[in-house]
Amino acid sequence: MPFLDHLEELRWRIVKSLIALFVCLGASFWFSYSFDILPVLVKPIAALLPDGKLNYTNPMAPATILMQISGVLGIVLASPVIGYQLWCFLSPALSLRERKVIVPVLGFAALLFLAGIALAVFVFVPVSIELMNNIQSSALKPMITAEAYFGFMFFICLAFGAIFEMPIVVLILTALGLVTPAVLGKARRWAAAISLVASMVVTPGDQVVGTFILWLPIYGLYEFSIIVSWFVYRARLKREAASESIRAE
């Protein structure tokens, strides 16, 4: 296909992606406002609040938070369409074997990201806030604001989602020959120590339980990444052996 035709196709793929994004953003805002989605997101910590509601100090906070939530939800809803448009543009340049590999990997990556967000929303955030509220002081009175809560939730969800992509990163690095299962296995102690330090940094306050809740899936994902690396490494060795046998003939 000529270069100008590639640009024309890319332009239409981008236009279709933007249309899908704006439609999903509008639908997400309507859904979030009409069905009052905020109480659902506050529910994990509702029992920790005096009247089950969050405070806010900025008059624009309700609208701003609603737009932020709608934005995230809209991007998530539009991502399949955007991914499909990107795939339609790139797939002609890929071989059949590459197409068979990329599609399940992308699906697995999406599931891992959603699993990380679910763990953050339903386990880590409520436990963290409850532990912080248990730190009593005669000079302090807890007042959780909507801005602080949703900002904390967005940060933790993004962190958990990114951490849960570790097996995908290891898969790619192994496929490129940059790491091997043996190297990952020897680095277990370092991985455990680094993940523990990272958990302590990300976890707010001095929370042993919260740190452990974050550390356990991180290190568990590292062990799972070793298994993924082993399968990919084994498949790569078979391909290399087959290529060598063909060359020898």
Residue 215 Cα to chain centre, angstroms:
16
What does the block give as tokens for 77? 């809803």
Which pLDDT does position 52 carry in this prediction? 75
Which pLDDT does position 242 carry in this prediction? 75
249 residues of the chain, pLDDT tens digit each? 566 777 888 889 899 999 999 999 999 999 988 888 888 888 777 777 777 788 888 888 888 888 888 888 888 888 888 888 888 887 777 677 767 777 788 788 888 888 888 888 887 777 777 776 666 556 666 677 888 888 888 888 888 888 888 888 888 888 888 888 899 999 989 988 988 887 777 665 556 766 777 788 888 889 999 998 898 888 888 877 777 776 666
Which pLDDT does position 178 carry in this prediction? 85
Residue range 35-61, pLDDT digits in tens: 888 888 887 777 777 777 888 888 888
Which pLDDT does position 173 carry in this prediction? 86
Which pLDDT does position 35 carry in this prediction? 85
Q: Which of 202, 224, 227 has the alpha carbon at shortest distance from 213?
A: 202
Is 245 within a domain?
no
* Tokens 């439609």 belong to residue: 23
Is 246 within a domain?
no
Number of domains in the chain: 1
Which pLDDT does position 92 carry in this prediction? 76
CA angle 154, 158, 103 (to 5 degrees): 135
Enter the pTM of the model.
Answer: 0.73
Q: Which of 156, 151, 173 has the alpha carbon at shortest distance from 233?
A: 173
Is 22 within a domain?
yes
Which pLDDT does position 211 carry in this prediction? 77
C-alpha dist (Å) from residue 48 to 13, 70, 230? 47, 25, 45
* Tokens 């071989």 belong to residue: 95
What does the block give as tokens for 93? 């340049």
Contact status, residue 146 vs residue 204, Cβ threshold 8 Å = no
Helix (H) or strand (E) run with residue 43 in it: none
Which pLDDT does position 117 carry in this prediction? 85
For residue 165, what are the domain limits?
Answer: 3-237
Is 244 within a domain?
no
Phi and psi, residue 130, nearest 5°: -65, -40
Alpha-carbon gap, residue 15 to 74, rounded angstroms:
16
Alpha-carbon gap, residue 213 to 124, rounded angstroms:
7
Alpha-carbon gap, residue 201 to 215, rounded angstroms:
11
Which pLDDT does position 91 carry in this prediction? 77
Alpha-carbon gap, residue 172 to 182, rounded angstroms:
16
Q: Looking at residue 123, what DSSP letter applies?
A: I
Which pLDDT does position 15 carry in this prediction? 92
Which pLDDT does position 109 carry in this prediction? 84
